[in-house]
Amino acid sequence: MRSRKDKQTSLREAVKTYLPNGSSISFGGLGARDPFAALYEIIKQGVKDLTLMTTSIMDIGNILIGAGCVSKVEGAYVWIGSVGSGLNYRRAVEQGVPVKVETEEYSNYSASLRFLAASMNIPFMATKSLIGSDIPKYNDKIKLVNDPFTNEPVALVSAASPDVVFIHVQKADTAGNGQIWGILMNDPTLARAAKKVVLTCEEIVSTREIRKLPNLTAIPSYCVDAVVKVPFCSHPMWTAGYYWCDLPFRRNFMLYNKTQEGFEKWLKEWVMDVKDWDTFLAKLGKDRLEKLVQMERDNYNIPAFVYEGGAKR
């Protein structure tokens, strides 16, 4: 169990400490709260030979693969929801560009069961959902057995415990109690399945404030190894109550992503030639970010409650 000490650090130090070459990795969120700032730092540090463990993953997985950081994907699929397809994943699997990526395929549900097994410290989970599909035919890690109680066929999927998971939340205290508003995805399970957890957040707040709404603490401190305050961490995706999805940015990315050469040009402009996350936000521009905040608050606002100082959000 992790201690309750102050776990604040920088993204640079978190990636350097917890993600050596050859690690297995997962990301929280899916179209909401995706930790893009962590993704860009991983690419900047040139981490290679990663095994991406996921259920399904969107832009983050596609970009990580296109940057040549991934050698294997364990999950259902990699795509770019709403604006296009996961072309980097397709190129890597079919053409070995920029590096060949091995695929270990599961359904969304059975991939989730793998994380659930790891979170409970058991070696596998059983499911009937894969019976009758071709997935076990092409994935010899899935074992088909007879249920010892009914003698009916079931599929067994092994536990998946990534070396590190990066999860973004709205609020956290310095000990790592992370509160999530809106969609949870598999994040609470991932936090318990992974060997190390790096928590990014929009705001650092006091433990006293966290305790005012304890039911929102989806990621408890005992799961967390590092806490990093990163405003707008999920751009261009959405974080409930904070900012809207930047669809034009994502659409522009897809225009570059049609070819590996185009992707590399985008990567150079928006990741490799950008010093750090603050510089990235400055490049986006204050007006654009403020517009995304306003669009989100027009659509959805976290209910106000009294803070320590008496002010309301």
Q: What angle do CA 272, 277, 278 make, to 5 degrees?
A: 125
The per-residue pLDDT for 52 is 98
In the structure, how many helices (H) and strands (E) does the chain have? 12, 14
The per-residue pLDDT for 310 is 41
> What are the CA-CA distances from residue 285 to residues 37, 117, 278, 279 (Å)?
16, 43, 11, 10
pTM for this model (two decimals): 0.95
Q: What ranges make up the beta strands (E) of 189-312? A: 196-204, 217-219, 226-229
Nearest to 190 by CA among 71, 33, 22, 8: 33
Query: What phi and psi, each to the nearest 5 degrees, are found at residue 297?
Result: -70, -25
The top-level CATH class assigned to 11-105+161-299 is alpha beta
Question: What is the C-alpha separation between 291 and 244, in angstroms, rounded?
Answer: 9
Domain boundaries, the chain: 11-105+161-299, 124-158
Per-residue pLDDT tens digits of the chain, which is 313 residues long? 666 689 999 999 999 999 999 999 999 999 999 999 999 999 999 999 999 999 999 999 999 999 999 999 999 999 998 888 999 999 999 999 999 999 999 999 999 999 999 999 999 999 999 999 999 999 999 999 999 999 999 999 999 999 999 999 999 999 999 999 999 999 999 999 999 999 999 999 999 999 999 999 999 999 999 999 999 999 999 999 999 999 999 999 999 999 999 999 999 999 999 999 999 999 999 999 999 999 999 988 776 554 444 444 4
Query: What phi and psi, each to the nearest 5 degrees, are found at residue 203?
Result: -140, 145
The per-residue pLDDT for 268 is 98
The per-residue pLDDT for 311 is 41
